[in-house]
Amino acid sequence: MMPTIEISKKDFFNLIGKKLSNKELEEDLMLVKGELESVEGDVLKIEIADTNRPDLWSTEGIAREIRTKYKKSKGISFEKLKSSGLTVKVNKNLQKIRPMTVCAVIRNLKATPEVLSQLIQLQEKVCETFGNKRREAAIGVYDLHKIKGPIDYKAFKPNDIKFIPLEFTKKLNLNQILRMHPKGKEYAHLLEGCTKYPIFIDSAGEVLSMPPVINSDYTGKVTEKTRDVFIECSGFSLKYLMPALNIIVTALVDRGGQLETVEVVYSNKKIITPNLKLKKIKVDWKYIEKRMGLSIGKKKIVELLKQANYSIKDKGNVLELEYSSIRQDIMHPVDVVEDVTIRYGYNNIEPRSPELITEQKMNKINSFSKEIANILVGANSQEILSYTLINKNNLIKKMNLKKMKVIEVDNPVSKNWSVFRTGITPCLMEFLSKNTNKEYPQQIFEIGEVVLFDKNAETRTKNPTRVAWAKAGKTSDFTEAKQVLDFLMRTLGLDYSIEETKHDSFIKGRVGRVFVKNKAVAYIGEINPEVLSNFGIDMPVCTFELNLTNILNEV
């Protein structure tokens, strides 16, 4: 889902340094892949069509990108940051609960209503979308003047500590907060199974928060009178925590706040956060021209890169670029090409008819897939469509499998889209898990590509097309799955055989390997009860997954 944010027009124009007409605004929002949804008085509602750029989900982020169109960027340096003198000690009893945090201090912040509004909105957007609904990253912001350092981050038993949660008036223990506070009810599942809960607490015994649930009402309430703030981000991996923290503090620095570091002490190491050192990438300017399909020259490319907030060292054909650490979307030179193209303006690119004349024709595997879909629809099955990217946990752990060689996204925006699927059956299981309140039986299928390692391929991968079918219901068993497979294979005119095999996703003795002309092409069987439990499915499920690429030439 694309993030939609609300901003003050007056505040936005002040940050840009220029008033814009609605037409100019709509044009400039293209620089951030934004679309103006509505204008109501001073309130602008903007949809950002880029889930890879959480740094754009606020007035400050959008203004930062657009401002360079009208004036040269000041290029705030984060290479040398002053220490706040504050230390956060992380207790090792959090290891299996919520083990990591990164922190920062912002001083001399003018907390106007617009600043507070954007801070809250950005905090929520980053935690909910980039932070996977607070599971991977939860951010807390506090009034520094109410905190006495050092701060401890450690786990407590539910009845061992009480504090007043935000917007409440009486102290509650930790279990009471999870049962009674609206945020406790909403996020209690993130601490499910824990016998102790994470707490930030200062040296005076004042509780800051119970992450990832709720701040205290005393230290965790930031108002217009607040001038200095302490910010923490908790979770499981620096891969998510550091970007989330950096995005928040950069927005506050854009508001004139002074950024200072915090020493975070773990049992085996110390780290200084935040880390906002510039990132680097090298790009051949001719490569940019080639990918754009335009001959605009190096001088123009350099000009557009500067507008996109890059620092540039010209090394002949190669441009050495430095860019902000909050840019999580730049993983390859082609991402730089996109920035240049956006600054050039897609509307300024003149359409050109291709010189190569091609014949319109569906390729064999797509035509075959369409035939398969028609057959399965005729067997009273409903087709679904899911993403090729999947949650690694759904692909492996929930399917009761051990370690598997998978292709992972180097810098995923969300844990839900972190690896390429090696099978389609986990996608069917996830679909069924989200429809447990619907009428049974449920009979579904999906046709699509999977991504497998192939050391002989140029990309080291191959993408066979498969069909996966599943039925959830009281009578779902091996026989029902075989009846549908029989119908499919007879319609295709294929003979096949099944040999008993072992597969941890299936019930032992109720799973088979399907062969066509001595070639293994499918698994068929009844899903293991452990797998059903992992997905929260109460009904038996039978399934098969058939490699269409392998049988295409046999039809």
In SS3 terms, 328-348 reads as CCCCCHHHHHHHHHHHHCHHH
Confidence tier at 51 by pLDDT (50, 70, 90): confident
How high is the pLDDT of residue 106?
Answer: 97
How high is the pLDDT of residue 251?
Answer: 94
Contacts for 462-467 with beta carbons within 8 Å, 24 or more apart?
464/547, 464/548, 464/549, 464/550, 465/365, 465/369, 465/547, 465/548, 465/549, 466/423, 466/424, 466/545, 466/546, 466/547, 466/548, 466/549, 467/369, 467/372, 467/376, 467/424, 467/545, 467/546, 467/548
Q: Are 32 and 53 in contact (CB under 8 A)?
A: yes
Residue 409 per-residue DSSP state? P
Residue 535 per-residue DSSP state? H
Sheet holding 465-472, edge to edge: 382-383, 442-449, 465-472, 541-547, 519-527, 506-516, 497-500
Fold of 279-345: Phenylalanyl-tRNA Synthetase; Chain B, domain 1 (3.30.56)
Confidence tier at 129 by pLDDT (50, 70, 90): confident
How high is the pLDDT of residue 153?
Answer: 97
Q: What is the mean pLDDT of residues 400-426?
A: 85
pLDDT, one tens digit per residue, over 387-399 is 999 989 889 999 9
pLDDT at 440 over 80: yes
In this structure, are strands 162-163 and 34-40 parallel, antiparallel, or unpaired?
Answer: unpaired
Q: What is the mean pLDDT of residues 507-526?
A: 95
Q: Which of 111, 88, 389, 355 lies closest to 231 in space, CA to CA?
A: 88
Confidence tier at 160 by pLDDT (50, 70, 90): very high
pLDDT at 71 over 80: no
Q: H helices within 79-229, ranges in order? A: 113-125, 174-180, 182-187
Confidence tier at 73 by pLDDT (50, 70, 90): low
Q: H helices within 384-526, ranges in order? A: 392, 425-433, 478-492
Quote the tokens at residue 279: 């990132």
Bridge partners of 241, per DSSP, are none
Give the containing element (helix H, strand E) for 244. helix 238-254
Within 8 A by CB and 6+ apart from 160, the residues are none
Q: Could you give the CA distance from residue 306 to residue 321 in angstroms, rounded to a whole number?
A: 10
Fold of 4-67: Phenylalanyl-tRNA Synthetase; Chain B, domain 1 (3.30.56)
Flag the least confident range among 21-25, 138-142, 440-444: 21-25
Task: Enter the CATH code of domain 364-554.
Answer: 3.30.930.10
Q: Which residues of 367-403 are buried (b: 16+ CB within 10 A; e: fewer)?
A: ebbeebbebbeeeebeebeeeebbbbebbbebbbbee
Q: Could you give the CA distance from residue 542 to residue 526 in angstroms, rounded to a whole number?
A: 4
Confidence tier at 76 by pLDDT (50, 70, 90): low
pLDDT at 74 over 60: no
Give how far Cα 374 sits from Cα of 26, 159, 368, 378, 488, Å.
44, 59, 10, 6, 10
Two domains, one topology: 82-273 and 279-345: no
Instruction: Kindly list the domain boundaries of the chain, sorted by start residue.
Output: 4-67, 82-273, 279-345, 364-554
Share of the chain above pLDDT 70, in %: 98
Q: What is the mean pLDDT of residues 502-521?
A: 95
pLDDT at 361 over 80: no
Q: Could you give the CA distance from residue 307 to residue 301 in angstroms, rounded to a whole number?
A: 10
More confident residue, 474 or 78: 474
How high is the pLDDT of residue 372?
Answer: 96
pLDDT at 198 over 70: yes
Mean pLDDT computed over every residue of the chain: 92
**What one-letter code names the amino acid at 540?**
P
How high is the pLDDT of residue 457?
Answer: 84
Confidence tier at 356 by pLDDT (50, 70, 90): confident
Q: What is the mean pLDDT of residues 197-215?
A: 96
Q: Is 189 helix (H, G, I), strand (E, B) or coil?
A: helix
Confidence tier at 517 by pLDDT (50, 70, 90): very high
Q: What is the mean pLDDT of residues 458-486?
A: 94
How high is the pLDDT of residue 75?
Answer: 52
Q: Which of 81, 61, 60 lies closest to 273 in space, CA to CA?
A: 81
Task: Determine whether domain 82-273 maps to CATH 2.160.10.10.
Answer: no
Q: What is the mean pLDDT of residues 134-139?
A: 94
Share of the chain above pLDDT 90, in %: 79
pLDDT, one tens digit per residue, over 491-507 is 999 999 999 999 999 99
